[in-house]
């Protein structure tokens, strides 16, 4: 009895297992049959699929070659020196740390950067990126390259948006390198724009510098203009005074005039002594007495010119006065007054010259200091003309276009076949057929209405024109 029960249980278990296997195999067979039916359907519509793929290939190829080429030109800038950036305030913190630590450069730089982070200050790289993306730089580039005409934009704002879309400015956080990439349909213009960004950055960083050296340089520059004008005026006054009074160096001229006057006085005394001796022997009508008398008169005349005694009734006639007034040298009588005025003019010119020299030296030192404190823009890789296009990827466009058309046609074939299998009494199918029917009627009504308008519209053809009949007068 027990063996019979065990056999019956084994038979029932085997039958249950066979039933389970049959249930698993039925869905598998159904799915395989569906796949075979779909593949058979596609094989039956292979000509349609091949034609569609060929049309998609031609269309995507045409689109790929109609899209204009784009080129990207890139330039890279070295990270700016944070210790020379006074605009961000980190240089001052580094300088203070250097003084405290006794000039340790690395420690000063680390403390300066840490202070900048604590105070929320931006780095020079972020400052450069902000300047490059500013409206001022964009306006200058739009005006320089006439980008409104290039981009086909009427407004400057639209040209700015287009330029911003075509420009990429990024900073590497690890290395600090700043990358400027410009996209354009012309490789030469893309390169010129990338290099122009660097030039405008240099100009704006120099113009917008707020360092103490910059302020000092601006002050000295304005002061130099004022001092230069004062020096020119003082030099002109000294030159006019010297030209008017025939003076070059009062001290040297006074010494020379005193030497000449003493010599003339000695000659005059000697000539007068000789004249008195001859008068004791000869009369005044004697030729030697008259000659010596004339010589004494000439010596006295020259001595009077030098000493300035011509104005004190020592002039014989008006011709001598005119001759004395037009003398090439000033008189000894006028030397003190001329010397005082000359010294004033000379001292003023000398003071202005000394101030100008000192300010010039300070101005040059301020320019050097400003150059040290201004963040420098160092180009690592200048922009070069790109040799290959960056867009469009024609092979990818052709492949994707052909694939999309082919997949769409496959879906269309499967969908059409599935639509045929739907029951005619299905409400969804009835509704869609009504929508399609109404759309067709609407389109046919529009076409009929347009044809009716063409028939009603009168024609003014040349063939329909009839000239007016002539009357008896015209005939």
- With pLDDT > 90 as the criterion, what percentage of the chain qualifies? 23
Q: Convert the pLDDT of each residue in 108-138 to its tens digit.
A: 444 444 444 434 445 667 888 988 999 999 9
Would 131 be classed as within a structural domain? yes
> Do 201 and 78 lie in a common domain?
yes
Would 2 be classed as within a structural domain? no
Would 423 be classed as within a structural domain? yes
Residue 263 has pLDDT above 80, yes or no: no
In the predicted model, what is the mean pLDDT of residues 435-456? 73
In the predicted model, what is the mean pLDDT of residues 55-74? 92
CATH number of domain containing 160: 3.30.70.1130
Would 404 be classed as within a structural domain? yes
> Do 267 and 304 lie in a common domain?
yes
Pairwise pLDDT comparison (329 vs 134), residue with the higher score: 134
Would 79 be classed as within a structural domain? yes
pLDDT score at 192: 95
Would 56 be classed as within a structural domain? yes
> Do 62 and 77 lie in a common domain?
no
Per-residue confidence at 104, pLDDT binned at 50, 70, 90? very low
> Do 206 and 258 lie in a common domain?
no
Lowest mean pLDDT: which of 7-16, 29-38, 371-380, 458-467?
A: 458-467
In the predicted model, what is the mean pLDDT of residues 96-106? 41
> Do 154 and 284 lie in a common domain?
no
Would 311 be classed as within a structural domain? yes
> Do 75 and 63 lie in a common domain?
no
pLDDT score at 51: 92
In the predicted model, what is the mean pLDDT of residues 446-459? 63
Pairwise pLDDT comparison (54 vs 244), residue with the higher score: 54
Per-residue confidence at 431, pLDDT binned at 50, 70, 90? confident
Pairwise pLDDT comparison (438 vs 121), residue with the higher score: 438
pLDDT score at 421: 76
> Do 47 and 61 lie in a common domain?
yes
> Do 294 and 168 lie in a common domain?
no
Q: Convert the pLDDT of each residue in 143-190 to its tens digit.
A: 999 999 999 999 999 999 999 999 999 998 888 899 999 999 999 999
pLDDT score at 385: 92
Q: Is 108 exposed, middle or buried (0-12, 13-18, 19+ CB in 10 A)?
A: buried
Q: Convert the pLDDT of each residue in 264-296 to its tens digit.
A: 777 777 777 777 777 777 777 777 777 877 888
Per-residue confidence at 474, pLDDT binned at 50, 70, 90? very low
Would 348 be classed as within a structural domain? yes
> Do 75 and 197 lie in a common domain?
yes
> Do 345 and 422 lie in a common domain?
no
> Do 141 and 192 lie in a common domain?
yes
pLDDT score at 111: 42
> Do 196 and 83 lie in a common domain?
yes
Number of domains observed in the structure of the chain: 3
Tell me which residue range forms the domain holding 423.
30-67+392-438
């Amino acid at each position: 009895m027990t063996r019979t029960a065990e056999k019956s249980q084994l038979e029932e278990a085997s039958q249950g297992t066979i039933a389970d296997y049959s249930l698993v195999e039925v869905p598998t067979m159904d799915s395989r049959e569906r796949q075979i039916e779909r593949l058979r359907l596609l094989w039956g519509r292979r000509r349609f699929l091949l034609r569609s793929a060929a049309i998609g290939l031609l269309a995507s190829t045409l689109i790929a070659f109609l899209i204009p080429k784009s080129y990207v030109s890139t330039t890279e800038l070295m990270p700016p020196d944070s210790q020379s950036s006074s605009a961000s305030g980190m240089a001052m913190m580094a300088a203070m740390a250097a003084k405290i630590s006794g000039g340790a450069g690395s420690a000063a730089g680390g403390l300066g950067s840490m202070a900048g982070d604590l105070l929320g200050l931006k780095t020079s790289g972020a400052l450069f990126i902000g300047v490059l993306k500013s409206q001022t730089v964009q306006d200058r580039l739009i005006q320089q390259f006439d980008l409104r005409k290039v981009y086909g934009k009427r407004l400057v704002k639209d040209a700015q948006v287009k330029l911003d879309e075509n420009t990429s400015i990024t900073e590497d956080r690890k290395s600090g390198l700043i990358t400027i990439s410009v996209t354009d349909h012309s490789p030469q213009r893309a390169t010129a724009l990338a290099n122009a960004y660097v030039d405008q950055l240099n100009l704006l960083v120099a113009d917008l510098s707020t360092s103490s050296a910059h302020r000092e340089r601006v002050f000295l520059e304005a002061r130099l203009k004022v001092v230069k004008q004062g020096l020119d005026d003082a030099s002109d006054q000294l030159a006019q005074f010297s030209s008017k009074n025939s003076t070059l160096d009062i001290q040297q001229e006074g010494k020379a005039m005193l030497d000449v006057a003493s010599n003339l006085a000695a000659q005059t005394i000697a000539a007068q002594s000789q004249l008195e001796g001859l008068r004791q022997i000869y009369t005044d009508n004697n030729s030697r007495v008259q000659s010596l008398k004339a010589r004494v008169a000439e010596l006295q005349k020259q001595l009077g010119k030098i000493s300035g005694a011509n104005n004190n009734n020592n002039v014989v006639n008006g011709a001598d006065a005119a001759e004395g007034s037009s003398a090439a040298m000033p008189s000894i009588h006028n030397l003190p007054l001329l010397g005082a005025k000359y010294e004033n003019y000379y001292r003023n010119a000398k003071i202005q010259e000394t101030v100008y020299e000192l300010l010039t030296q300070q101005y040059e030192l301020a320019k050097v200091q400003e150059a040290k404190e201004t963040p420098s823009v160092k180009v690592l890789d200048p922009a070069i003309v790109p040799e290959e296009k960056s867009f469009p990827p024609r092979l990818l466009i052709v492949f994707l276009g052909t694939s999309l058309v082919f997949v769409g046609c496959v879906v269309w074939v499967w969908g059409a076949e599935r639509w045929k299998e739907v029951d005619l009494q299905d409400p969804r199918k009835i509704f869609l057929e009504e929508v399609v029917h109404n759309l067709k009627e609407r389109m046919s009504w529009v076409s009929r209405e347009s044809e009716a308008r063409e028939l009603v519209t009168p024609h003014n053809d040349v063939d329909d024109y009839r000239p007016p009949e002539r009357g008896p007068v015209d005939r």
